[in-house]
């Protein structure tokens, strides 16, 4: 069934200048579900200006007069075999309309990139069971579950000892270091749910666009002169939670079992505590093929929020 908007509603692509309106809409929804905004103006601006996002074809704002009542977008990385959607509205007709446009655009992406089918993912707070049911009615099925993990810092945190034989490299002022980080990222996350390998140029542009990140927040570990682990941190949760954030933490398979992940975590805790942060946050896929959840629990982190990824295979 085709969703039709009321005749008084208007639709147009988003731009960076719409960030405040998108923030207000998303914050209102998030607060209604989990009790807090879980979104900032910088988050909205970054999303609307992400390299590779084409708002004229991949984004939709729905207005009732001057009031924004719906926001939708679709975004792909790398070979676009896996796409992420974002649909936010309190109006079920608008939601159906936005999903309809997302699915149409998904098929266009599949054809453009010569895929017989692509995976379309939607993130949903577990607390929003009604939305989960609607996603199921639109052909989505549970994909995986992410936990937001947090540890609080009540005072100074001891700086951990560097594992034997390991050299710590902080910051990435040059291209060679950034390329080494990119190689470890792609290799260590290969095969994990929702991870799409990106070219160095695409990945680098995304990092440059991220307002909460700078290259001083990249840490690499070397073993026998080879880069074997990385930690990409940023300030994404400083404004709303006063917490540091570990966006990516990866260890090459051949270097696992040496305590490198725990070292990188405890090192981040010490850095955040020294900076006066109240805690450190990260997200973990509970179906991760590596025992990541157990590692985070073992260093004192606890789950504070649960999000589910709903996936639909779209064939053409």
| Spatial strand order in the sheet of 9-12 | 9-12, 59-64, 67-76, 82-89, 117-125, 302-315, 141-152, 279-285, 243-251, 226-234, 218-223, 166-170
Question: Which residue segment(s) compose the domain that 270 sits in?
Answer: 150-306
Report whether pLDDT(209) > 80: yes
Residues 130 and 221 in one domain: no
Provide mean pLDDT across the span 276-288: 94
Question: Residue 202 belongs to a domain with what CATH number?
Answer: 3.40.630.30
Residues 273, 166 share a domain: yes
Q: Would you say residue 1 lies in a domain?
A: no
Is the pLDDT at 289 greater than 80? The verdict is no
Distance between CA atoms of residues 91 and 69, nearest Å: 7
pLDDT at 201 over 80: yes
Q: What is the tens place of the pLDDT at every residue in 49-97?
A: 999 999 999 999 999 999 999 999 999 999 999 999 999 999 999 999 9
Q: Which of 113, 139, 165 is the last residue of a domain?
A: 139
Q: Model confidence over 108-155: pLDDT tens digits?
A: 999 999 999 999 999 999 999 999 999 999 999 999 999 999 999 999
Domain identity same for 165 and 204: yes
Q: How far apart, in whole angstroms, are the C-alpha atoms of residue 205 and residue 203?
A: 5
Statement to judge: residues 133 and 211 lie in one domain:
no
Band (pLDDT 50/70/90 cuts) for residue 291 is confident
Residue that finishes a domain, picked among 108, 139, 170? 139
């Amino acid at each position: 069934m085709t969703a039709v908007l009321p005749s008084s509603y208007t639709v147009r692509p988003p731009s960076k200048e719409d960030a405040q309106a998108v923030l207000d809409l998303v914050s209102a929804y998030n607060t209604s579900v989990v009790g807090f905004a879980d979104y900032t103006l910088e988050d909205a601006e970054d999303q609307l200006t992400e390299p590779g996002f084409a708002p004229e074809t991949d984004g939709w704002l729905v207005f009732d007069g001057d009031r924004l009542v719906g926001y939708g977008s679709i975004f792909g990385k790398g070979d676009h075999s896996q796409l992420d959607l974002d649909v936010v509205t309190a109006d079920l007709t608008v939601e159906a309309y936005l999903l309809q446009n997302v699915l149409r655009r998904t098929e266009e992406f599949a054809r453009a990139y010569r895929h017989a089918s692509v995976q379309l993912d939607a993130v949903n707070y577990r607390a929003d069971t009604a939305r989960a049911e609607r996603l199921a009615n639109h052909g989505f099925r549970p994909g995986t579950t992410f936990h937001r993990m947090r540890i609080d810092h009540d005072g100074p945190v001891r700086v951990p000892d560097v594992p034997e034989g390991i050299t710590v490299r902080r910051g990435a002022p040059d291209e060679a270091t950034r390329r080494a980080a990119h190689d470890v990222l792609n290799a260590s996350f290969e095969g994990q749910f929702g991870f799409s390998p990106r070219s160095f140029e695409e990945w680098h542009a995304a990092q440059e666009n991220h307002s909460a990140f700078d290259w001083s927040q990249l840490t690499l570990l070397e073993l026998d002169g080879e880069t074997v682990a990385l930690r990409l941190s940023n300030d994404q949760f400083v404004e709303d939670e006063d917490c540091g954030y570990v966006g990516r933490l990866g260890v090459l398979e051949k270097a696992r079992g040496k305590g490198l992940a725990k070292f990188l975590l405890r090192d981040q805790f010490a850095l955040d505590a020294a900076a006066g942060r109240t805690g450190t946050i990260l997200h973990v896929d509970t179906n991760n093929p590596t025992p990541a959840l157990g590692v985070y629990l073992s260093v004192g982190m606890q789950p504070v929020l649960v999000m589910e990824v709903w996936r639909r295979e779209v064939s053409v």
